[in-house]
Structure 1
């Protein structure tokens, strides 16, 4: 069963070295054996092609296109479900403790699954059918996380963690004075924001903005870009006009 996949790879490898060396006599070798290349060059070419194909698709739980389709309401049912559940979760956390919210969510889920399980059992007993467990299709799904996939996710996460650690060290140890002062000013402004809003309220506002601003911008993109361009030009013209110092002639 490996011959079709190998056959699809051999033309790209042999085409890069066409005319270099004749193929093996008889032409009876396996299609993926790289007959026109030596052992060293064949292995390096296969390795390069594997690295390029794997690096072109970074490991991530959600792709950029999926997030884009979600916030732009491409699938109304999916976006509505995500938006509704997360908003209800944040509103619940704003009114109750985390332990209460998690407990009620688990109880609600168990109530649904147990009720459905009992209902299907009664229906099967009345109809004398042998359909089996109603969740058997989901119980048979293999959700085991392999060690290779776990290491891939951890490596992808470590890239972002190391980048964040370098940024924190650079800002707090004042590698660049301007950047550290910007952080200090931003944190000083956030003290006033924290006096008015708490963290859950900010998360609720952020979710409302994430799920509303992109769709509004997509609908009125021309008008928004026009006014943003005017504001940018005005700001640029004001910044270019520098006041003269006192006593300057």
Structure 2
């Protein structure tokens, strides 16, 4: 259910909602480049409080002028149960435990060189990330990732056949190069199962 909503946002099925989410996240990241996290959180809280207090006062004045008895404007939201059940907490903790265990096993496999080729690929990736880290800070990378997440699915959906064709050519060349490297590096061949 949530994945469908996320995909609808990323594929811009509802342009207004996608634009609001993208713009809000982009504004948040840009604010974080200028202000501290504490300041940004405080400003967001103050803006939200100002909006809700103003709306509450407006509705109270409107009820007094119209002599209506509508009650609290946020009553339906105040009555929503936000408590997490023990089952929901257990399920969340189990998922976190599963992901953490998989991550630790994979890192152990890479750092203790269970497969030489995979460890070398990881080393090359980390070496490339040192250059990326020298060029960009973390927030810049988050901004670029946000733009990519909101644009790449649309571009791929529109130009899928051309992109798949070029990716096939790239995969073929990469597999040829990796095959040649595996032939020349001792111990790089995987064991046959």
Secondary structure of the equivalent of 2:80? Answer: coil
State the alpha-carbon separation in 2 of the partners of residues 238 and 174 from structure 1: 21
Instruction: State the partner residue of 2:40.
Output: 101
Partners in 2 of 1:221 and 1:98 — Cα distance? 39
CA offsets per residue over residues 126-157 of structure 1, 9 Å max, x none?
Answer: 22221110100111111111111111122122
Distance of aligned partners of 1:146 and 1:67 in 2 relative to their CA distance in 1, 3 Å threshold: same
Give the Cα separation in 1 of the matches to 2:4 and 2:103. 24
- What residue is the counterpart of 2:23 in the other structure? 84
Partner of 1:165: 104
What is the CA–CA distance in structure 2 between the aligned matches of 1:170 and 1:236, rounded to whole Å? 22
Q: Which structure shows the bigger proportion of residues in helix conformation?
A: 2
Distance 1:131 1:64 in 2: 36
Question: 101, 111, 115: which one pairs with 1:176?
Answer: 115
| CA distance in 2 between partners of 1:136 and 1:155 (Å) | 34
Relative to the length of structure 2, the TM-score reads: 0.83
Q: Which residue of 1 aligns with 2:187?
A: none
Aligned pairs for 1:227-246 within 5 A: 227-233=166-172
Name the counterpart of 2:186. Answer: none
* Offset of residue 230 of structure 1: 4.2
Q: Which runs of 5+ in 1 are unaligned?
A: 1-61, 243-249
**In 2: Cα distance, 1:88 partner to 1:208 partner:** 12
Match of 1:189 in 2: 128
- Greater alpha carbon shift after TM alignment, 123-132 vs 225-234: 225-234
Instruction: Verify: 1:73 aligned to 2:22, yes or no.
Output: no
How far apart in 2 are the matches of 1:232 and 1:179?
Answer: 17
The farther-off stretch of 94-103 and 177-186 is: 177-186
User: For this pair of structures, how many residues does the alignment match?
Assistant: 182
TM-score by length of 1: 0.66
| Structure 2 segments unaligned to the other structure (5+ residues) | 182-193
CA distance in 2, matches of 1:241, 1:177: 15
Structure having greater relative contact order (Cα 8 Å, sep ≥ 6): 2
- CA change 1:161–1:225 in 2 (3 A) is same
CA deviation string 1:7-50 (max 9, x = no partner): xxxxxxxxxxxxxxxxxxxxxxxxxxxxxxxxxxxxxxxxxxxx
What SS does the corresponding residue of 1:174 show, helix, strand or coil? coil
Of 89-98 and 169-178, the range deviating more from structure 2: 169-178
Shift in CA distance, 130/223, structure 1 to aligned 2, threshold 3 Å: same
Q: Select 2:138's aligned residue among 187, 190, 199.
A: 199
Indicate the RMSD between aligned Cα atoms, in angstroms.
2.4
